Chain A
Amino acid sequence: MRQGSRAAASVLPALLCAGCAGAQSAFDTGGAQALGLARLMIFIMAVCAAVWLAVMAALAFALWRRRQEATEPLAIDARRQRRMSLVVGGSVAATVVIIGLFTVTSFWVTRSLWAGDRDAVKIDMRGYQWWWQVTYRDGNQAFTTANEIHVPVGRLVRIRLTADDVIHSFWVPSLTGKQDLIPGRTNEVSFVAERPGVYRGQCAEFCGLQHARMAMQVIAQSPQDYDAWRQSQLAPAAKPSDPEQVFGEQVFLSKPCAACHTVRGTSATAQLGPDLTHVASRSTIAAGVLETTRGSLAAWIADPQTIKPGNNMPMVALSPDELNAISAYMASLK
């Protein structure tokens, strides 16, 4: 029994620490901003733990110490009074010092989040129920994508945040802190990803039925890979190559799909749903709900309300042939 609990006591902290690793963790930092915040968090927690231990020790001492019988309860003992004022004064001073220290450190760390404007990658993000529109405004050519941000390693990324319907919140814990997307106003957040990899982000402000399924990915790449990705995204959509895809494009353009979605290079230019020009190049669809495969694209188009109930994509009546063709066309939009 005792051995079992001892084993549990040694395994539990290891297990808890394992929970801190991964693509979405404020402790698994990918850049300077996140590192600053993680250090601030650990610093504050360590100081609070020390204070808690000191308070508990004082309490234990007070409980354990034998109390003297007071022979004359009303008599004033000058030494005792002085000692008591010293303890109370010391606690108040320590509280003021610690709160002051926390305020200054947290101000200092948060200010460093905004440092530097050297050739930042400029991105606009707009929150919708329940997906992220991402517009790159780098250089003189802009392009729009969704739910996936690619960034070059080591370069500052500056994101302007707005919202279309309700308040959302941008949160990629491994890269930086939270920042709200508020309808009718523009917020900013900036970060640097220092090691390549895939970081997961999540909406951090309850925004409706599918708030939990409003995820995004930040993919940090080497500058060469990033440029290659940028060039491929700037290009218009791939032309359909076989008869099935050609039919799929016709269906897409003649059905209600084109009333909400854009495929650059075709007549579909609406901005109400995610830009589908390179939908098959993104790793997930529906803001992280399904992996992008032809099968999941078909499933999504066939019945979006069963996969992500309440989202704003309607179920469009399609014949099996049309559905098959449109999924082939979507999967070809690399």
Chain B
Amino acid sequence: MAGIVRRTANPLLRLLLIAAATMALPACEREERTLRLAPPVASALDGVRLMPIGIGGAPPEVYSALEKPFASNAYDLSQGKRLYNWMGCPQCHGDGQGRSGPPLLDGWWQYGPDVVSVFVTIRDGRPGGMPSFRDKLTTEQIWQLTGYIQTLGAYSAKTAAPSRDDGPQTRPAENRAPAAALFDKFPEIR
């Protein structure tokens, strides 16, 4: 590289080469895993403000300060997917297409598409059979699960993906916007 730069006579070209090399450096950085949140951050993440009707609201400031970590980090999505299976979500929601519970990937959210509503739905439960997971999961885990569930209902593809399914494919993979592939029309109104 240094040799090429020295041999290049044109100063503009030389500058461009150096710039290109410098710009390639950040590509070496891998995605970082946050294995656990600092306890104050975790407890702050529990403090969502919900509208009185229970639909939508504002996430805590720390959520935006962390740059919405749970929606785009592959490790968090993988952990969310693990929890989705571990906590028995497939028993009612299937692979996301719904069973006795409502589907999660038709992009139709009974309590709004907002992260806060999804988070509160998992944390506190909802009438009609959705249990509360407040005593079963930590705040961080509920956020991981929220991030994963939002991926299921996404209408645009993502670069971050959770781990693969081991079983046969029953729907498009999570990072390929399964909702768009299956239900890209007006959702049925329930």
Question: Which residues from chain A sit less than 8 Å from chain B, CB to CB?
Answer: 183-184, 254-256, 258-260, 272, 303, 305-306, 309-310, 312, 314-317
Q: Which residues of A contact B141 (CB under 8 A)?
A: 256, 314
Q: Which residues of A contact B174 (CB under 8 A)?
A: none
Q: How far is the CB of A261 from chain B (nearest CB, A)?
A: 12
In the complex the two chains form, what is the Cα distance from A316 to B118 in whole Å? 21
> Quick one: which of A183, A259, A312, A317 contacts B136, CB cutoff 8 A?
A259
Name B114-152 residues within 8 Å CB distance of A: 135-141
A256 near B35 with CB under 8 A, answer no
Identify which of B19-27, B36-44, B154-162 touches chain A: B36-44
| A-B contact sample (12 more), CB < 8 A, given A303-B36, A312-B82, A315-B42 | A184-B166, A256-B138, A258-B136, A259-B87, A259-B137, A260-B86, A272-B86, A306-B36, A309-B35, A315-B36, A317-B43, A317-B139
Complex: how many Å from CA A183 to CA B36? 27
Encode B37-72 as 1/0 by CB contact (under 8 A) with A. 101001100000000000000000000000000000
Contacts of B135 in A (CB 8 A): 254-256, 259
B30 located at the interface, meaning its Cβ lies under 8 Å from any Cβ of chain A in the complex? no
Smallest beta-carbon distance B79→chain A, Å: 8
Closest CB pairs A-B (n = 4): A259-B136, A305-B36, A305-B35, A314-B138
Q: Choose among B43, B137, B139 the residue with the greatest number of A CB atoms under 10 Å from its CB.
A: B137
CB distance from A129 to the nearest CB of B (A): 9
8 A-B residue pairings within 8 Å (CB atoms): A256-B141, A314-B140, A314-B141, A315-B37, A315-B140, A317-B39, A317-B138, A317-B139
Give the docked Cα–Cα distance between A303 and B37 (Å): 11
Residues of B that sit less than 8 Å from A by CB: 33, 35-37, 39, 42-43, 79, 82, 86-87, 135-141, 166
A310 to B82 Cα, complex, angstroms: 13
B136 / chain A contacts, CB cutoff of 8 Å: 256, 258-259
- Cβ-defined contact, A256 with B137, below 8 A: yes
- CA separation between A254 and B132, bound complex, in Å? 13
Q: Are B166 and A316 in contact (CB under 8 A)?
A: no
For the complex formed, measure the closest distance between the CB of B117 and the CB atoms of chain A, giving whole angstroms.
22
* Minimal Cβ-Cβ distance residue in A for B46: A317
A254 and B136 CA atoms in complex are apart in Å by 8
Across the interface, which residues of A come within 8 angstroms of B79, CB to CB?
A: 312
Closest Cβ of chain B to A296, distance in Å, is 18
| B12 to A: closest C-beta gap in Å | 46
- Name which residue of chain A comes closest to B39, CB basis: A317
Cβ of B83 to closest chain A Cβ, rounded Å: 9
**Is A315's CB under 8 angstroms from B33's CB?**
no
A315 with B82: CB separation less than 8 A: no
Whole-angstrom distance between the alpha carbons of A229 and B37 in the complex?
40
Contact in complex: B138, A310 (CB < 8 Å): no
Given A184-B166, A256-B137, is A314 in contact with B82 using a C-beta cutoff of 8 Å? no
Q: Within the complex, what minimum Cβ distance (angstroms) separates B86 from chain A?
A: 5
- Give the distance in Å from the alpha carbon of A255 to the alpha carbon of B33 in the complex: 25
In the bound complex, how far is the Cα of B20 from the Cα of A174, in angstroms? Answer: 56
In the complex the two chains form, what is the Cα distance from A84 to B92 in whole Å? Answer: 78
B119 shortest CB reach to chain A, Å: 16
Q: Which single residue of chain B is at the shortest CB-CB distance from A129? A: B82
**A315 to B39, Cβ gap below 8 A?**
yes
Roughly how many angstroms separate A306 CA and B79 CA in the complex, as a whole number?
A: 17
When distances are taken between beta carbons in the complex, the residues of chain A under 8 Å from B86 are: 260, 272
